[in-house]
Every structure is written in C-alpha cells, then in structure tokens.
A and B are shown apart, each in its own frame.
Chain A
Amino acid sequence: MTGNTLFKLGDWGIYALFIVTVLGLPLVMDDVFWLNRISKYLVYGMLGIAIALSWGYAGILNLGQGLFFGLGAYMVAMSLKLQSYTSTQQGSDMPVPDFMLWNAEPGAPTELCCIVQGSWLWLPFQSQWFGMAMAIVLPVLIALVLSSAIFRLRVSGVYVAIITLALVLLVRLLIIDAQPITNGFNGLTDLGWLTVAGIEFDPYMVSTYYVVAVSTCVVLLLTRWLVSTRAGLILQSTRDDPNRSRYLGYDVAAYQVFFFTVSAGIAGFAGMLYVIAAEFASPSFLDITFSISMVVWAAVGGRSSLIGAAIGAILINTIEATASETEMFQEAWKLIIGVIFVLVVLYMPRGLAGLAQDLLGRISSARGSGDKQAARSGAPAE
C-alpha cells in the first residue's frame, strides 16, 4: 500500500516539477532569444502529448499529425498576415497581403475580395479571433470526418499510418499549388503580432513565453485528466482488445474518433502557438519528416506517458539546437538522432518514462515490502 502511494506521489511529483520548471524558467533565464526558442520547444512538447494520446493510449499511429499542426498554423497566420504592415500598407482600405499583389494579374482590383482567384477566402480572417478559432475548429472538423470514415470501416494499425501519411502529403501539395492565396513554398511570412486588449505579444517578450508555457501546462493537465476518466480507461481497453470492448457493449469507433479528434485539436492549437512564437507558417510543417520527428520525440520520451512524450520532445529539440550549432555535430546530428531512435525502440520500448517508472517502481516496492526483501532483490535503497 505504501509502495503504491509512493508511486503515485512520484508520478504527480514529476508533473509538479515540470510545471514549476516551465513557469519559473523566465525568473532564472533572462536571455529572450533562448526563451523564444524554448517556447517553440514547448509547442513541440504539446505535439508530443498529442502523439502519446493517440499512439500510446489509443494505439493509433498517426504519421500525419503535421496536417493538423500545419492547418492550425495557417489559420492563425492568415489573420496575423492581414494585421502586418506588409498587408495594411498596400494602398487600399482593406488589408491585402503583399504576395497577392505580386501574383495578381495586371489591372486586377486591389481588394481582398477579388485580387486573385479565391482570395475572398481570406475575408473573414480580418478578425484575429476568427483565425484563432479556426486554428482549432478546422483540424477538429477534418479529424472528425477522417477518423469517422477510418474507424467505422475498422481500419487499423499500419493502414491508418499510411492513410494519414498520404493525406498530409496531399494537403501539402494543395497548399503549395494554391500559390496565389497561400504564397506556395514560401509560406506566410512577415506576420503581425498577436494583439489582445491592446497588448502586443512580441515573440521576444516574456509575456509571449508565458502564453505558450501556460497553454502547454493546461493542455498537459487536461489530457492527463482525460486519460484518467472512465472514457480514457475504456479507450485503453479498445487498444488492447477491440473485440472484447465491443462485446462489453462499447462502440469502439466512437472512442477512437473522440480521442483522435482531441489529439488533432491539440495539434491545431500547437500550430497556432507556434505561429505566435515563430512568426511564420510554411508548407514544411506538412513535410513527412516533421510528422515522423514527432513520433520519434514521443517514442524517446515514452509513448504511453503524456509527460514523458512532452519531455522527450523538449529534450531532443534542446539538445539538437545545441548540438547542431557545434561544428562537429552539425552534419552528424541527424544520424545521432536516428541511432537514438533505433536504440530506444529496440531496448527501451517505453522510452524515458518507462525508465523513470521502473526506477520509481523499484524504490516504492523496496519501501513497501520492507528492508529485508529489498535487500534480497537487490533494489536500490534510496
């Protein structure tokens, strides 16, 4: 009993430590350049959480999570682009993105409604709140339709991975192809700042860091609550044996759709925060390598642990930033991360979180069953 309590305490201790560290970081770090960097890594941490939720808890390997991240990013970037001087100072009453002028046919009216074909799609994005809402609503809607189709047809395993992978590539192509309204390969750059109640969120300000940091902590705690509910337990049961869940009366597809969609919503939210911190959106968000990187972060951190996946993402990116700036590692970095991934998959399938759990488990069982047994099993005494 004491062992079990200790185990739970240790688990919550890690959450508390994470949140205190993330929120307290600006007190000890006054380098705004690094704070901005870390806010981006926290966004990646959020993506790690989204992957752990669908891969670890639902058993659904989504190799196209970048689709939802990218869409979330584009939605808010469209709004912020319209607030930028590159849109407002084009000599018309309404803001018009600069790249649309470059793409417009001679003599086209310099109005957002009709400067290029399809530019009217941008009209509602003049409201920043519309863009921010769509950053979550659009990924959620697409995930809902997509996952309903996939899971009602009982598609599972590697086929889900292939479908999601194909879809992210398809949407990437569409975005690049719709160059007049998306600026194609170049993406949306020179964005304005998020402005709320007269406060401008300059990415290199502590307040912007806090927007991302608080969001990450809230998402972490909310998903943690979600997997602790009965619905979260039932979801895990569908991962282990979907037939058994069905014969208990659960509509397995409904659970898969719900959690897949939540995961997509988190990715969309992460995309939005990334744009606020990084000031651009680009089709590279929908590259296969990016979606696969997310899976690697989650695998290294521990796919069946939300906080493990988040820490995995933050850790890998922080090391990457440091290592890739050292001349010696600049080229070798990708190789190193590949080797780490292979080693983790082969020898540490539960990732860093699994390692921490084993350690905690040993300590608590040593405490729980008395000193004699602990000594016999050779468990560490601390």
Chain B
Amino acid sequence: MVAALTIDALEVDFSGFKAVDGMTTVINEGELRVVLGPNGAGKTTLMDLISGKTASTGGEVRLFGRDITNRPEHQIARAGVGRKFQIPSVFRDLTVHDNLRVAVSHEPRVFRNLRLGMAPADRARIDEVIALTGLEPVLDVIAGDLSHGQMQWLELGMLITQQARVILLDEPTAGMTQAETLKTADIILKLKGNHTLLVVEHDMAFVRKIAERVTVMHLGRLLAEGPMAKIEQDPAVRDAYLGSGGAH
C-alpha cells in the first residue's frame, strides 16, 4: 500500500486555542476515508491545513512522500490535492462547460495558456466527467443558475477534471435532498480506487453507504480509527459525542 496522504502530528494554534492538536493519520492510495467528529472537533480546520488555506504551526503534511506543509494553495493544488468546499464554490458567471474547461489545469502558466481551444485528450476527459456527473443537459447554463445539487456535482466534476490525486470533500451532501444524496454517493463510489478521497460528513446514512475506514476526531486529536462497524461500537467515540451534546 502506498501512502497517499500522511498527516503527521499536525497542529494549529489560533492564539492559544488549538483547533487541531497533534493530529496523525495515514490515508492510502485509492482509499475512501471518512472523517467524523462532533462539532468543533477540527475536521474542517484539518482540511484547511492540508489544502493550504490555513497555515499550520506544527507537524507535517506529506503527499506521496513529498512535504507540502504550508505551501501556497495553488502549489498544493498543483501537487495533486483537490478540494470541495462546504458551500458550493463554482464560477458563477461562467457556463457549466466553461467551468469544466477551466478545471483542466495541468498547464497552469499564463503564457502557455495564450491559445484557443483544447487538446483532444482534455476534451475527452471533460466528456467523461460530463457523463459521470450527468451535467449534459445543463452544459450551456450559467453555473450560478444551477440547482444546489447540480452545483455540488459540478464542483465535484471539476475536481475530477483537475485530476486531483487526493480529493478533500467537506460535507458534500449538505443541503441535498434524499435523491441528490444517493446520486452523490454513487459518484463518490465510482471515484474510489482512481482517486484517494477524504470526506467530512455528518449524514450517517450517507456515511454508512460510502465508508470503509473511518477516522474520528475529537478536540483536534485522533480519537479512533477503523472500520465503520467497529467505530460505532467504540465506547470512547460514544462518550465524545454524548459529552458534546449528541451525534448528528
């Protein structure tokens, strides 16, 4: 097994408050890892630290053995980390198709992009993503006019187009209907194997559908890690949720 993402004693200190406090975990290539934890456990902050949004004050993040700790966001992205935000973040004034075109980012430099059109291989990849996400009927729609679910799928599609080796998903089903959640689970399951995924999610039905290994965080630290069935029986996990006011 190749370690895709290694988080090693990661720590961030917000003037005295340690939102992430010595978190350690290893995610293998092709794995789908779900991160659980009560509110304030540091799940989203962990994603911020991995993707470079927030600078860590200790520890290390390694991507396929390469140190990416505290690099600028675009360099971490180029190294192979893709991120989906809790609030859908797409280019709202561009069409769906253009959103996907921008997501073909293997050549990020300005002067190399001073050309019209795209390579056939890139076009083919966009077409694959369109098929996977079912965005075909809305290709020419301005992204800001999409429904909430479609917007989430578009963002997911952009991460796939980007060919991110490790994909971070922050509550991908937040605000979705039952049917939309199911479709999202399908898309995510199809990605497993080709991509390494790290998913933060509260919807337990959804988690049971997609999860294999689960990491539970509490107070910025690793509380438990293992298969879903085992985690649900873990007394320490139960205590953590009850102690902070119950599970979601």
**Residues of A in contact with B (beta carbons under 8 Å apart):** 4, 225-226, 228-231, 233-234, 236-237, 239-241, 243-252, 254-255, 258
**Interface flags, B149-183, vs A, CB<8A=1, else 0:** 00000000010001000000000000000000000
Chain B residue numbers with a CB within 8 Å of A255 are 110
Which DSSP category, helix, strand, loop or mixed, fits chain B's interface?
loop
Asked whether, in the complex, the Cβ of B74 is within 8 Å of the Cβ of A237, the reply is no
CA separation between A229 and B98, bound complex, in Å?
12
Chain A residue numbers with a CB within 8 Å of B116 are 225, 228-230
Q: Considering the complex, give the chain A residue whose CB is closest to the CB of B115.
A: A229
**Residues of B in contact with A (beta carbons under 8 Å apart):** 51, 72-74, 77-78, 82-83, 85, 89-94, 98-99, 101-103, 105, 108-111, 113-116, 118, 140, 158, 162
Asked whether, in the complex, the Cβ of B113 is within 8 Å of the Cβ of A229, the reply is yes
CA separation between A54 and B23, bound complex, in Å?
44
16 contacts between A and B (CB under 8 A): A230-B101, A230-B115, A230-B116, A233-B94, A239-B93, A240-B94, A241-B89, A243-B85, A243-B89, A244-B158, A247-B77, A248-B108, A248-B158, A248-B162, A249-B77, A249-B108
Q: Considering the complex, give the chain A residue whose CB is closest to the CB of B122.
A: A230
CA separation between A226 and B82, bound complex, in Å?
28
Chain B residue numbers with a CB within 8 Å of A229 are 113-116
Total CB contacts across the A-B interface at under 8 A:
84
| New A-B pairs, 14, CB < 8 Å, besides A229-B114, A244-B158 | A229-B116, A230-B113, A230-B116, A231-B111, A233-B102, A237-B91, A239-B93, A241-B90, A243-B89, A244-B91, A245-B102, A246-B74, A247-B73, A248-B158
Asked whether, in the complex, the Cβ of B91 is within 8 Å of the Cβ of A240, the reply is yes
Choose among A233, A245, A250 the residue that contacts B101 (Cβ–Cβ < 8 A).
A233
With contacts A239-B93, A244-B89 taken as known, whether A251 is within 8 angstroms of B113 at the C-beta atoms is: no
Looking at A225, A244, A247, A258, which has the most chain B CB atoms within 10 Å of its CB? A247
CA separation between A254 and B74, bound complex, in Å?
11
Asked whether, in the complex, the Cβ of A249 is within 8 Å of the Cβ of B162, the reply is yes
Chain B residue numbers with a CB within 8 Å of A234 are 102, 113
CA separation between A252 and B77, bound complex, in Å?
13
Chain B residue numbers with a CB within 8 Å of A236 are 91, 93-94, 98
CA separation between A247 and B80, bound complex, in Å?
10
CA separation between A233 and B118, bound complex, in Å?
12
Chain A residue numbers with a CB within 8 Å of B158 are 244, 248
- A223, chain B: closest CB distance, angstroms: 12
Asked whether, in the complex, the Cβ of B114 is within 8 Å of the Cβ of A231, the reply is yes
Chain A residue numbers with a CB within 8 Å of B74 are 246-247, 249-252
- A237, chain B: closest CB distance, angstroms: 4
- B242, chain A: closest CB distance, angstroms: 36
